[in-house]
Amino acid sequence: MHCRASAQPLRHPKELSTEEGFALLADAVRMGTPVFILSGGDPAKRPDLLDLVREIRERGVPLIITDQHRADHRACDGNRIVRTPNIDKLAARGWASDAFYVCSPICMPNRASLMTGRMPMVHGVRHNGIPLALNSVCFTDLMHAAGWRTVMVGKSHLQTMTGQPPAAKRPTWDGLEPPPAALAEALRDRVAGDLYDQESQIRWRNDPKHDVVLPYYGFDEVALANEHGDLVEGHYTRWLRARRADGDSLRGQKNATPDPKVVTPQAWRTRLPEELYPTTYVAEITKDYLEKFAADRSRPFFLKCSFPDPHHPFTPPGKWFDMYDQADVALPGAFHHPKSSLPPHLAAMHAERDAGKAVKGGMTAFACTEKEARGAIALNYGSISMIDGNITDGYPIINYEYAIVNSKQSSSSVATAVRSILEWAINPADGNSPDFLNPVDFQALPSKVEAQSVVQIKKIQ
């Protein structure tokens, strides 16, 4: 997307020297203004720029994660149905990968790899139900040791959440005695016991005093929202009950609003209002922490914001449930894959479905019908759009040449240049719009752009 031409007459803002420009940016950073350096000349040519970038980077790092979110379920990746304007802005203004691969298709192994930087065969979390050993060194441990504030909000899933015993039984052989319990695993020190039930939904639901032991995998503070849909447990449950004493009676399939249109397995119209839904909880707690860190810039922070959605069950609340019509949803290309060339396990699932014997509950994979698939995707889109609606685009654009600085404390004389610099960027005097501005849709900027300050900084040669 390229910038639109402007019919307004060209005006040029007051030009500041390079030194004045960097001084303004440095002041903005020190006042708590979040900034991103997006493009420009070689930083090595300006030691003071390196200092500024270092200062910016030391302020904090937020990491936003969604759960079971397909890569093509974002508008910025070509999806023409799901609406994700805020995620699209992050992709347009930042760095987006089209070849980013996970180390495992399963939740817990992948999350453990994210935290440790090691493959599942090394950190030991080979499948769901195997906790990450508490003696593992996570990158958050290194941040903590270096003085960073480390916070986790939302879904962790570094330990088992269900509180249920393993579904698989140990194999037995006639004529052979099983090994003693203490020697049944490859390691004597098994990842078991109370310290490995810290995320158990049963303990969180039934024990009002239950909590995680801090630091938790390198996190100084934790606000858990584990499990999925409207059945999330952890600190979220206490937050919900504090706001609605009968909050538990509003969630779950048995408490859902009847809707004959819902034919998708593991989907229901939740009675939880949007303001009490887990996505709102994660967003609000994250915002509270960001405001806290903005007020106290004495130490850098790392904040992991982990949304449990759009993982099934599909229960987006309120307007998000009806946001997409399943008739408009396109099925994945592999849905009608020729049965003759299906691998054995998929062929078996299709046979169960066609015979009406598919088991459609829990986490076991099954083959669904076309109508069920369309309904699931439509509700999945609703959950994604709700998450997108809670990701605010609060980070301004900073470039070596031009700066948009969100700060109410900026000079009013500089603030009056906002319209001018935007018009210059859209229709510059020399006819060449800087490349770094091309992805930005200026028509989407707030109408009251006078609340921002824009300065023109001489290009660094």
Average pLDDT, the chain: 76
**Between these two residues, 356 and 445, which has the higher pLDDT value?**
356
**Between these two residues, 444 and 4, which has the higher pLDDT value?**
444
Quote the pLDDT of residue 212: 96
Quote the pLDDT of residue 31: 45
Q: What is the 3-state secondary structure (H, E, C) of the chain?
A: CCCCCCCCCCCCCCEECHHHHHHHHHHHHHCCCCCEECCCCCHHHCHHHHHHHHHHHCCEEEEEECCCCCCCCCHHHCCCCCCCHHHHHHHHHCCCCCCCCCCCCCHHHHHHHHHHCCCHHHHCCCCCCCCCCCCCCCHHHHHHHCCCEEEEEECCCCCCCCCCCCCCCCCCCCCCCCCCHHHCCCCCCCCCCHHHCCCCHHHHHHCCCCCCCCCECCECEEEECECCCCCCECHHHHHHHHHCCCHHHHCCHHHCECCCCCCCCCECECCCCHHHCHHHHHHHHHHHHHHHHHHCCCCCEEEEEECCCCCCCECCCHHHCCCCCHHHCCCCHHHHCCHHHCCHHHHHHHHHHHCCCCCCCCCCCCCCCHHHHHHHHHHHHHHHHHHHHCCCCCCCEECCCEEEECCCCCCHHHHCCHHHHHHHHHCCCCCCCCHHHCCCCHHHCCCCHHHCEEEEECCCC
Minimum mean pLDDT among 126-135, 339-348, 403-412: which range?
403-412
Minimum mean pLDDT among 218-232, 257-271, 286-300: which range?
286-300
Q: What is the mean pLDDT of residues 236-240?
A: 96
Q: What is the mean pLDDT of residues 355-376?
A: 91
pLDDT level of residue 307 (50, 70, 90 thresholds): very high
Minimum mean pLDDT among 23-37, 266-280, 322-336: which range?
23-37
**Is the model's pLDDT at 461 over the cut of 60?**
no
Greatest mean pLDDT among 15-29, 202-216, 287-301 lies in 202-216
**Is the model's pLDDT at 101 over the cut of 70?**
yes
Quote the pLDDT of residue 339: 87
Give the model confidence (pLDDT) of 134-163 as tens digits: 999 999 999 899 888 999 999 999 999 987
**Is the model's pLDDT at 32 over the cut of 90?**
no
Greatest mean pLDDT among 182-191, 271-280, 281-290, 422-431 lies in 271-280
pLDDT level of residue 175 (50, 70, 90 thresholds): confident
**Is the model's pLDDT at 449 over the cut of 60?**
no
Give the model confidence (pLDDT) of 54-74 as tens digits: 554 556 788 899 999 988 899
**Between these two residues, 183 and 192, which has the higher pLDDT value?**
183
Q: Where exactly are the structural domains of the chain?
A: 15-58+396-457, 66-101+138-164+192-389
pLDDT level of residue 427 (50, 70, 90 thresholds): very low
Give the model confidence (pLDDT) of 380-392 as tens digits: 999 999 999 998 6
Quote the pLDDT of residue 443: 35
Quote the pLDDT of residue 316: 97
Minimum mean pLDDT among 185-194, 263-272, 341-350: which range?
185-194
CATH of 66-101+138-164+192-389, one of 3.30.365.10, 3.40.47.10, 3.40.50.80, 3.40.720.10: 3.40.720.10
Quote the pLDDT of residue 26: 52
Quote the pLDDT of residue 66: 93
**Between these two residues, 57 and 224, which has the higher pLDDT value?**
224
Quote the pLDDT of residue 455: 34
**Is the model's pLDDT at 415 over the cut of 90?**
no
**Is the model's pLDDT at 441 over the cut of 80?**
no
